[in-house]
Structure 1
Amino acid sequence: MKTIQELRSSESNQGLTTEEIIAECKTFFIAGQETTSNYLTFAIILLAMHPNWQEKVPSEIQELGMILNEVIRLYPPAVNISLSHDTSLWGEDANKFKPERFSGGISKVAKDESTAFIPFGYGLRSCVGQNYAMLETKVVLAMILQRFSLVLSPGYVHAPTSLLTIYPQHVAPIIFPSLQCDENTVCNT
């Protein structure tokens, strides 16, 4: 099977076959599922570790964007993105969870504004699923935070690791106490 670059550079350039299109779709689906689930898992873990931030989200949706940007800065999907922890770009607190660093927007978040925040790649190498991953994560997290608070189990050991992506080495035991229970809501605490 030829790569897309080989097809583009070939003189016959007849496009992708049905088999090649299916293979590319499988790649997008599998890669997108793993990276988005890791992204959401780290968001839930960090919000459970920092309850002051989860309290802001239901009333301030802008805060959710800042939180998610900080989550993906700390735990980008691709392991080769090392700029996100560079203290010369992010300051001495580069390894700390500080969503407020995004309060002025992405373009003003670091000293090198052009390439400091590239969790989905840059230029021609940027992820085609970026917008979908961000939207999916925002919707799921907003739905969870509308009904539940997030409490990290006392036995949790924070140990991010990597193979092809960055993921939690141990399961993320989260306790989901309900925020509100009324006659229209089934609540178990």
Structure 2
Amino acid sequence: MDIIKKREEKVKLGEIDNYGTDFLGLLLQAYHDVDENRRILVEDLIDECKTFYIVGQEPINSLLSWTVLLLAIHTDWQEKAREEVIELFGHQNPHPDDLSKLNIVTMIINEALRLYPPAVGFPRKCDSEVRLGKFILPANIHLFISNLVAHHDPGIWGDDAHLFNPERFSGGVAKATSNNVAAYFPFGFGPRTCVGFNFATMGAKIVLMMILQRYRFTLSPAYVHSPVVHFVLYPQHGIQVILHSLKSEEGPS
């Protein structure tokens, strides 16, 4: 509520001329809408903010867990990512506005999302009959569209579809998928794309960069690979890694 009140106060005092175009700003505009039929209640506003946070937080946890696992196994890519982060930011905390400068880290994040998407599929309903290739989908049937299947399809990704290879995203997502939007959709696609998409990827990148600046990490022998789905895809027994402090490696100054 404090954040909401501060934004409202700035508009009231004339410090800003609108509530903003971010998610909170759009909700506040709906809350203050002159049309009572379109206006939302304060309870709705708070609930939407909570939903946005939770929907963004869970994918961050999932994405970060699997990315750390993959880099703990593929230490060559871990070193490449660390070199990029140190070159761009040194040991300073990264700023969200600078994330677009990252190439290798973005490739790694994209590949982690391909192999371990937070949501493994999306339920949909056909409003009308649809022809899909040689199939005819009747109206009112329910479908489950699995991105996990699409992301591991050798027909799309090649014979190494099951392997961790961030290089496939070196030219961006569009090039990696030959502009096929149905080949890669870790957060869904179209108007129902997950609202936490940018929040999740940005948060995961920032935390990952801070880890890379401070530690090397390798996979612990105690790790047991057991992905399960509970709202998002996550490691049932957690991710056990062995951390090596970069500061201790540098020795006393």
Query: 1:12 & 1:57 partners in 2: Cα distance?
Result: 51
1:153-174 C-alpha deviation (Å, 9 max, x unpaired): 0121111111221000112111
Pair 1:108-2:132 in alignment: no
Work out which of the residue numbers 176, 182, 187 in structure 2 matches 1:120: 187
Match for residue 149 of structure 1? 216
CA shift, 1:115, in A, is 2.4
State percent identity of aligned pairs: 47
2:71 to 47, 68, 71: 47
Q: CA deviation at 1:59?
A: 2.0
CA distance in 2, matches of 1:111, 1:88: 12
> Which 5+ residue runs of structure 1 have no aligned equivalent?
1-10, 185-189
1:94 alignment counterpart: 161
Alignment of 1:24-103 (within 5 A): 24-60=48-84, 61-80=102-121, 81-82=147-148, 83-103=150-170
Deviations 1:35-79 (A, max 9, x none): 111110111011001111101012224111100100011111112
What runs of 5+ residues in structure 2 fail to find an aligned partner? 1-34, 85-101, 122-146
For 1:74 and 1:158, how far apart are their aligned partners in 2? 14
Tell me the SS of whatever aligns to 1:166. strand
Return the TM-score normalized by structure 1. 0.85
Cα distance in 1 for partners of 2:64, 2:164 equals 15
Partner of 2:205: 138
Is the partner of 1:133 in helix, strand or coil?
Answer: helix
Aligned residues: 175
1:14 matched to 2:73: no
The separation in 1 between residues aligned to 2:118 and 2:228, in whole angstroms, is 11
Return the index of the structure with the highest Cα Rg.
2
8 Å contact kept, 2:55–2:195: no
SS in 1 for 2:234: strand
TM-score where L is the length of structure 2: 0.64
Query: Which contiguous aligned blocks of 4+ residues in structure 1 show a shift greater than 6 angstroms?
Result: none
Q: The residue matched to 1:57 in structure 2 has which SS? A: helix
Quick one: distance in 1 between partners of 2:115 and 2:191? Answer: 23
Aligned residue for 1:154, secondary structure, equals coil
Of the structure 1 ranges 111-120 and 82-91, higher mean CA displacement relative to structure 2 is found in 111-120
